[in-house]
Structure 1
C-alpha cells in the first residue's frame, strides 16, 4: 500500500448502494458475522424482509446482531391498505439496543439502512449518531431516494461503495490499515 493511500481522507462510514434490498442485507449480515468470528464486538441490526414477488412488503423485521432478537417494524393496517406500514416503535426498540452496544464498547456498527424515517431524523438515527459520536466505524445502506438527505446527515464522514462483498472487504482493509498506521504507538486498534 502506498503512502498516498493513507493520505486520503478516512471515512468512518461505508454506505452501500447498487443492489436489491434483500441482497444488500445479506451482504451486511454476512460481513457482520465474519467480523464477529474474527473477535470484533459488532453491534447493529439487519433487515429481514418477507416481500412478495411484486415487491410489496407487508412484513418487515430487523434482527439485532448481538442478541439475535427480532423486532417487527411493520404494523397491520388492515386489508386493502396501500399506506406505508412501517412501525417506528419496533425500530425505536432496536435502536436502543444498538445505542447500548455502542456505549458498551462496540468495535463496529452495522445498520440496515438510512431510509425515509432516518431522513426525517427518526428510525435508527440515534444509533447512527451514537456510533458517529463514539468514532466507531459504521456500515449501512442508503436508499437512492434519500441520498441528498444522507449527504446532509453524514457529510464527509461517509463514502458510497458498491453493495458487494469485494467492495466492502476493500473498504474495511483500507479502514484497518489507516487505523493501525495513524494510531499512536501502543494504542493501535487492530481490526480483524
Structure 2
C-alpha cells in the first residue's frame, strides 16, 4: 500500500503543487484518477471559500460550494456536489489508473464520508494515493491512514520521486 500526503503552509500551495504533479505525470502518459481543484476558477467570495474541482483525468468540473449569503459563516461545502464528484470518480476507470489524487482530505473525509471509499478502493487495487491535507485536517488524516502515509514536501520533484519509487522500498515511509 502506497499512500502519501502533502501540506503546504502557503495559501493555495498544496493545490498548485498537486496540479503541477498531475500535469507532469499526464504529459508522461500516466493515467490518473481522483479530483484536483480548478485553480483557474476565481472565487465569488472575498474569503476565497468558493471552489470547483476537476474530476481526473478529463472532467467534469463540479462546483462543490454553495452560496449561503453574505452574512453566513456556515460551511459552504455542498454535500450534494461532493457526492456528485465522488460518483464521477467512482464511475471512472479506476482500474486503469496509475495514481489516485485527492486535492484535499477535508471535513467530509474526516467524518468518514466524501472520498474515503474511493481512496480505499484505489489502495485495494494497488494504486498509489496522493492526498492534499490542510493543517486543520492533519490529525483526522493521520488517524484515517493509521500511520501508513508518507508525508511529502510540497515540491513537485519530491512528489514525483515518491511516485517513481517502487512500492516496498525504504523510501515509501
Q: TM-score range by the shorter chain?
A: 0.7 to 0.9
RMSD: 2.3
User: Which residue is equivalent to 2:106?
Assistant: 115
User: Which residue is equivalent to 1:42?
Assistant: 32
TM-score (norm 2): 0.84
1:144 matched to 2:135? The reply is yes
Question: What does 1:72-91 align with in structure 2 at a 5 Å threshold?
Answer: 72-91=63-82
User: Which residue is equivalent to 1:188?
Assistant: none
Contact 1:16 1:160 in 2 (8 A): yes
User: Which residue is equivalent to 1:171?
Assistant: 162
Say if 1:177 and 1:126 are closer, same or farther in 2 by CA, change over 3 A.
Answer: closer
Distance 2:94 2:160 in 1: 26
Say if 1:85 and 1:70 are closer, same or farther in 2 by CA, change over 3 A.
Answer: same
Contact 2:103 2:131 in 1 (8 A): yes
Distance 1:124 1:141 in 2: 12
Distance 1:166 1:40 in 2: 16
Instruction: Point out 4+ residue stretches in structure 1 off by more than 4 angstroms.
Output: 51-54
Larger Rg: 1
Say if 1:100 and 1:21 are closer, same or farther in 2 by CA, change over 3 A.
Answer: farther
Say if 1:168 and 1:143 are closer, same or farther in 2 by CA, change over 3 A.
Answer: same
- Deviation (angstroms), 1:95: 1.3
Q: Deviations over 1:6-63 (max 9, x none)?
A: xxxxx61110013334221121112112212212211111113645896x13421111
User: Which protein is richer in helix relative to its size?
Assistant: 1
Contact 1:109 1:137 in 2 (8 A): yes
Distance 1:90 1:52 in 2: 17
Q: Could you say which structure has the greater relative contact order, defined with CA pairs below 8 angstroms and 6 or more residues apart?
A: 2
User: Which residue is equivalent to 1:13?
Assistant: 3
User: Which residue is equivalent to 1:26?
Assistant: 16
